[in-house]
Structure 1
Amino acid sequence: MESFIIEAKGVTYVSGKVPPPSASRTGAKDISYERGRFRYLDSHFGGTDFLGQEVVWQDEIPVWAMNYYGRILDAERFDGGRAGTVIKQALTALYQEKRFLGGFTYLHPLGEYVDQSVGDYRSFLGIERIRMGERVVYQLDYQGGLIKP
């Protein structure tokens, strides 16, 4: 399942896949992916400041989920477009390592991406930040893990 999660993350948001006009909930932006017995949905609300959830179903049963809340902390020095550029490149590099958790740093001309987490795909808690010098200009908090009946 972990390999499917990484694969799905790599071919949805970071690949630039555009959400279709219809969504699962009013005001949401949904990006989905399916392969074999697995289905993935990343659904979020907002833009510069946003809240979302990722879910994986196996045979139509929800088996894994993650929720997240991200925001720009210094709108005078940084914006959502810059954050998206840094995040997409950093996460692409992370997924190429066949993982989505654990300590990771990525240097980009627009800022330094730093991700810290504890746990593994079964149960985890993490935070991602973008720094410009010593100042944190963006932050996203996330948590998730396996869903059991």
Structure 2
Amino acid sequence: MSSVPHDLAAFLVEAKRRTYAGLDDDATIAVPLLAGSKQLEHRAPPYAYRDIYFGMGFFVGQETVSRDDRIIWSMSYSGGARAEIRDRDTFLAIYKFLRQALLAVNADEPYRGPRRFEQSGMIYRNEVEGALDCFHGAETIARDDGAPLYELRYGGGLLR
């Protein structure tokens, strides 16, 4: 197994808070590498973080971390709001809530959000297995009455 750089988790937390979770698409760069994608970036040498995704209602993406210009860690993800949700206000409320949950990311599990987060009549849950070098998980959002609103699956780890 590769050893995890001691400061990688702290860098991931900072990068996630300074991109989608904290700034939404305001963190998007003007000319993404892949046409039609959203691309968010954060740098704190020797690390650089990049998150590229496609879609909105249902989306697919990949985060990478490079150290000295060599990609060392990656996470892929896919998911989104339930297909039956078409109301724009509900849609926007779900993603606003998701960003609040993602802001609560911590260095113990710096993948998505915390294990549980509750606010505005919604509950975010994140179940993850593994460690920073090799992990997978799923996050869900439901109304506090249990009605499902959103689901995402993710996985990744250190490249070797």
TM-score (normalised: structure 2): 0.84
Identify which of 10, 34, 39 aligns with 1:3: 10
CA drift of 1:100 comes to 2.3
Relative to structure 1, is the Cα distance of residues 16 and 75 closer, same or farther in structure 2, using a 3 angstrom cutoff? same
CA drift of 1:47 comes to 1.1
Query: Separation in 1 of the partners of 2:62 and 2:121?
Result: 26
Residue correspondences, number: 147
User: Are 1:27 and 2:29 an aligned pair?
Assistant: no
8 Å Cα contact 1:129/1:138 also seen in 2:
yes
Matched to 1:7, the amino acid is: E
Identify which of 121, 138, 147 aligns with 1:127: 138
**Runs of 4+ more than 2 Å apart:** 76-80, 97-103
Identify which of 5, 10, 20 aligns with 1:13: 20
Identity of aligned residues (%): 27
Give CA-to-partner distance per residue, 1:20-55, whole Å, 9 cap, x none: 221010111000011111110000001111100000
When the two chains are superposed, the root-mean-square deviation of aligned CA atoms in Å is 2.0
CA drift of 1:138 comes to 0.3
CA drift of 1:94 comes to 2.9
Matching residue of 1:64: 73
TM-score (normalised: structure 1): 0.89
* 3-state secondary structure, aligned to 1:23: coil
Matched to 1:94, the amino acid is: V
Matched to 1:22, the amino acid is: V
Query: Separation in 1 of the partners of 2:60 and 2:91?
Result: 14
* 3-state secondary structure, aligned to 1:25: coil
